[in-house]
Amino acid sequence: MVVSIRDVAREAGVSVGTVSNVLNKPDEVSADSIARVQTAIEKLGYVRNDAARRLRAGVSSTVGFIVLDGRNPFINEVVRGAEDEASRHGIAILVGNTDEDPAREEMYLDLFAEQQVRGVLISPYGDITRRLQRLREREVPVVLVDRMNPEGRFSAVATDSVAGGRMAVEHLLAQRRRRLAFVGGPFDMRQVRDRLDGARWAVDESGTGATLEVITTSALSVEEGVAAGRRLMERPPAQRPDAVFAGNDLVALGLLQSLAEGGSLLVPDRIALIGFDDISFAAAAAVPISSMRQPARAIGQTALRILLEEAGDPALIPRQTVFRPELVVRASTR
């Protein structure tokens, strides 16, 4: 049987209001009343419903986090960072995985609004500015994660993907690679477009005569990387790129798998390969993969911290927090 606050009041011989004050405002209650209520709580095994208490007070103990791909280890690390920060504040994270589906994204936005979460962290797919603006009009703060907001309407925490793309390709060019390819997609994702923009900038500014081919994938996944790699292997050797910049490490891992099929060892002798994110599997691959490292946990922690600040003061001006990626060089580009 669930013990209620009324049961505690009856056992302690005090009013329900006194029990509530002991739980929430003990400085307004006499020492005798506190002792009697605590004794009753221990005897009956009462457990307070903190979620309901906060909801009645208009302050939720949950935050919604909408992610693009729950299978991506990088995304999981970002969520872990947010959870680490949330636990310090007694808050739980509710995660919704859109799987890059706009309809599911809309569903989770509606669900979290109905659940009266304290705020929403989101890695959006496409442009949902109007939808997020409606959330904010309902006094639900929103922080973009792994995605910048150039208009400055919402706070955002991300890595500079343009700089990351530029650094990745500059590294390939320094290895004397000249027939480059970018493999990634879809280009509805701002992160993919930014990484490609950075790659193009590096090629255009290099003065080396290098070229950059774009090979589009329908998702940033291992499976799409495998498929792209097999298409490359169908080409005559002279028509293959001598370096590939993958949209993320999952795509890079799939490419590596295809480029190693049949016992061929094309990476890095014939084809250099670099990814983005620096997930743990990149270093553990058969040929350890170079990557652009993002501070995943710091991104999640920072986003949650900003969200709670905005929940406490809706008048705060949105801010953009940008981390700089770090080049991690491994065997795949040496």
pTM of the model: 0.80
- Is residue 111 exposed (0-12), middle (13-18) or buried (19+ Cβ within 10 Å)? middle
Q: Which amino acid is at 294?
A: Q
Contacting residues for 323 by C-beta, under 8 A, at least 6 apart: 157, 158, 159, 160, 294, 295, 298, 299
Spell out the per-residue pLDDT of the chain, length 334, in tens: 567 788 889 999 998 888 888 877 777 788 888 889 889 888 887 766 544 444 444 457 899 999 988 889 999 999 999 999 999 989 999 999 998 888 898 899 888 888 889 999 999 887 778 888 878 777 789 999 998 877 788 999 999 999 999 999 999 999 999 999 999 999 988 899 999 999 999 999 999 999 999 999 999 999 999 999 999 999 999 999 999 999 999 999 999 999 998 777 789 999 999 999 999 999 999 999 999 999 999 999 999 999 999 988 888 899 999 999 999 999 999 8
> Rg of the chain over CA atoms, in angstroms?
26
**In 25-99, which ranges are continuous DSSP H helix?**
31-44, 50-56, 73-87
CA distances from 186 to 192, 194, 216, 256, 289 (A): 7, 12, 7, 20, 22
d(CA 262, CA 260): 6
Cα(183)–Cα(273) distance, rounded to whole angstroms? 10
Q: 3-class DSSP state for residue 32?
A: helix
